[in-house]
Amino acid sequence: MADKQVWLITGAGRGMGLDITKAVLAAGHAVVATGRNRERVAQAVGASDDLLVLTLDITQPGEAEAAVQAALDRFGRLDVLVNNAANFYAGFFEELSPEQINQQLATSLLGPMNVTRAVLPVLRRQRAGQIITISSTAGLVGFEFGAAYAASKFGLEGWMQSLQAEVAPFGIDTIVVNPGFFRTELLTEESTNFATHPIADYNERRAAQEQFWTGHNGQQTGDPAKLAQALLTISSQENPPRRFLAGADAVATAEQVAAVLQQETAAYRELSSSLAYDEPAASAGH
């Protein structure tokens, strides 16, 4: 890749996306900063000759295609896509409405697919590029009150792993980022939505869960500005990692997931390995 790159970043107006945008600009690259509210993104990021601010609702494939075309018209190329925009529908699965689950998947799974689908023809023509997708530790392990969110992030994981095999022959790299708790705006009222169909059996646990999540807003241990710098570091490597665990808590989660998977593999190894089809014995011939 050239020293000066063009990055397209979704959800760039606040939270982690804003920190990534500022870091990429400070490093001397050009940025296509997108968000649902163009004015808000422009105000948050500030002015720069290397900046193009665009309206992009990632749930709308047409807007993704228009953003990519506008980026090409301005800069002539694209080098790095950061799929960052997301939201959080928190709640017990039974209390989440089908509409809420659809919204979670539309934003956190199908949205990144829309933008990536629009970007891929450009990267293929260039025979170079990177797709960085922000997942979560919720893409490694599910958790109570996080059924919809974890479903979207587990989906991201499988999609990105499959995509890597498909686009590697074109010189395109994919990177999945699994942040732990970072002090972003994911837990603000604008990004977090709670289940809307309360069931009495969940009342006590729901109250505790809502208190936990709202109480963690602004108290997360991770620094998104440091994560932004880390992304610049791994992106610049000749062979960037397929996965980057962001935060000591994410590392601990991954180690726990690996240990549990090893235990589950060993516990039923004999039974699991005994399921081959028994071919009938060949009859003796004369």
Sequence-distant (6+) residues with CB within 8 A of 191 are: 15, 86, 87, 88, 185
pLDDT tens-digit readout, 142-153: 999 999 999 999
Residues in the chain, total: 286
Among candidate residues 89, 149, 268, 277, the one labeled active-site is 149
DSSP secondary structure, 131-187, as one string: EEEE--GGGTS--TTBHHHHHHHHHHHHHHHHHHHHHGGGTEEEEEEEE-SBSSSTT
Does residue 88 or residue 222 have the better pLDDT? 88
Whole-structure pTM value: 0.91
pLDDT tens-digit readout, 263-282: 999 999 999 999 998 999 87
Q: What does the DSSP 8-state code read for residue 185?
A: S
Tokens of residue 286, six digits = 């004369």
Q: What do you get for the CA distance between the two ends of the chain, in Å?
A: 69
The superfamily in CATH containing domain 6-271 is NAD(P)-binding Rossmann-like Domain (3.40.50.720)
Cα torsion 25, 233, 86, 206 to 10°: value is -130
Helix (H, G, I), strand (E, B) or coil at 79: coil
> What residues pair up with 83 in beta bridges, in sequence order?
133
> What pLDDT, on the 0 to 100 scale, is given for residue 282?
78
Boundaries of every domain in the chain:
6-271
> What residues pair up with 245 in beta bridges, in sequence order?
178
> What residues pair up with 193 in beta bridges, in sequence order?
89
The DSSP H or E segment spanning 35 is: strand 30-35
| Residue 149 annotated among the catalytic residues of the structure | yes
Does residue 221 or residue 138 have the better pLDDT? 138
* Among 61, 65, 111, 63, residue whose Cα is nearest residue 87: 111
> What pLDDT, on the 0 to 100 scale, is given for residue 214?
77
Cα separation of 136 and 247, whole Å? 11
Cα separation of 19 and 228, whole Å? 6
> What pLDDT, on the 0 to 100 scale, is given for residue 115?
98
Query: What CA–CA distances, in Å, run from 46 to 34, 36, 97?
Result: 13, 17, 38
Residue 168: band (very low, low, confident or very high) from pLDDT cuts 50, 70, 90: very high
Tokens of residue 194, six digits = 């709670």
Cα separation of 99 and 39, whole Å? 28
Does residue 196 or residue 64 have the better pLDDT? 64
What backbone phi and psi angles, to 5 degrees, belong to 258?
-65, -40
